[in-house]
A and B are shown apart, each in its own frame.
Chain A
């Protein structure tokens, strides 16, 4: 495993294949929670945390239970991947919520309402499945999880900053609210398209 490889994964997950703007994953929170900067920050932190944990757990589940070569059962259980992954993510989110509520009430207040929403954030299941289809090893999967979360948070914060200013802009009546948010997202996607020329 080379360091340059990890570096490539980080740059790729944050900029070139940004989860929201290029892969279209996690759009619901991107549009839904980007109205205020501080709630966007809370959501972003919660997503980075859960994505990293989910990458760890789903990789281990796939490696030790589902894969026919390395699994302890020796059967090809890959057809159970979707069910196993979504269940482990749901359990994980619930568990994280309980731990944070007991150990860090302040953090819970900040993240609390966003945590349950994350179960149905397709970015989390998306990163778990991508880790497997891209054949990442354990370290690469964790790095990919963290940097995908960072990429998500980056565009969420940018979007929230823009939308706070849009509040005061004069937008045509028909485009107010969601439509203008999508058009802004389109402009951001156009900018991120520039990264696709990056070659290592």
Chain B
């Protein structure tokens, strides 16, 4: 397998959110603003990178029957690291992501990469895979958040880009807006795929 392909597959071809439908809960819940999306993406990328690294190192010592609890334990450790670090250095972001920081543990994206990739491949490839998947997840979050933030509050990264006279479409920030945005974006990706 080519290392470059392992990295790039997560960005578009096997995008975790749009194509594989993994990690949907945080993707919809925190995508009300681009800032939150970047924060969540960075946190999830860090966790998937560290857990892939550790799991690819210890995969030969883990008995097959209890591998899932072992993976979850590794993942939970790094989530706790992220939780405490963010609480100490970025308290506003920690507050707005709220319950979804501890819930990174059960983000199916991370467990899926551990089970499907890191447990079968070496350290180098696992790191590349994690970076690609993390980047793809972050990009997906940012693209959902871009639509929702611009439509819902007329801003992008807290900078006003639509004129004051624009009346914000509140629905875009509320839960239904998240479902509509991801549904339409998935449809758009299907449409583009068919053209190729």
Contacts and interface: CB of A to CB of B under 8 A. Distances in A.
A83 B25 contact: no
B99 A126 contact: yes
B80 A182 contact: no
A107 interface: no
Contacts of B72: 86-87, 90, 119
Point out which of A26, A87, A182, A189 has the most chain B C-beta atoms below 10 A from its C-beta.
Answer: A182
A180 B183 CA distance: 6
Interface in B48-65: none
B84 A24 contact: no
A21 B76 CA distance: 26
Contacts of A178: 21, 183, 186
Contact of B84 (A79, A130, A172, A174): A79
Contact of B25 (A27, A79, A182): A27
B190 A121 contact: no
A34 to B, nearest CB: 13
Contacts of B111: 120
Given A22-B175, A24-B29, A129-B99, A120 B182 contact: no
A28 B183 contact: no
Interface of A is mostly: helix
B191 interface: yes
A31 B24 contact: yes
Interface stretch (B4-12, B100-108, B161-169): B100-108
Contacts of B68: 90, 119
A182 B174 contact: no
B157 to A, nearest CB: 22
A179 B183 contact: yes
Nearest to A175: B187
Interface string B154-190: 0000000000000000010011111110111011101
Contacts of A26: 25
B106 A133 contact: no
Contact of A23 (B29, B73, B191): B29
Given A28-B24, A83-B76, A174-B187, A122 B179 contact: no
A193 interface: yes
A179 B24 contact: no
Interface string A21-62: 111111110011000000000000000000000000000000
A10 to B, nearest CB: 20
Point out which of B22, B83, B103 has the most chain A C-beta atoms below 10 A from its C-beta.
Answer: B103
Nearest to A124: B106
Interface in A162-200: 172-176, 178-183, 185-187, 189-190, 192-193
B76 A82 contact: yes
23 contacts: A22-B175, A24-B25, A27-B28, A28-B21, A28-B108, A79-B80, A83-B76, A86-B72, A87-B72, A90-B72, A119-B68, A124-B106, A125-B102, A129-B102, A172-B187, A174-B194, A175-B190, A178-B21, A179-B190, A182-B179, A182-B186, A183-B179, A185-B179
Given A86-B76, A126-B103, A189-B178, 6 more contacts: A21-B175, A23-B29, A79-B80, A82-B80, A82-B102, A90-B68
Q: 6 tightest CB-CB pairs across the interface, nearest first?
A: A182-B183, A186-B179, A24-B29, A183-B183, A179-B187, A189-B176
Interface of B: 21-22, 24-26, 28-29, 68-69, 72-73, 76-77, 79-80, 83-84, 99, 102-103, 105-108, 111, 171, 174-180, 182-184, 186-188, 190-191, 194
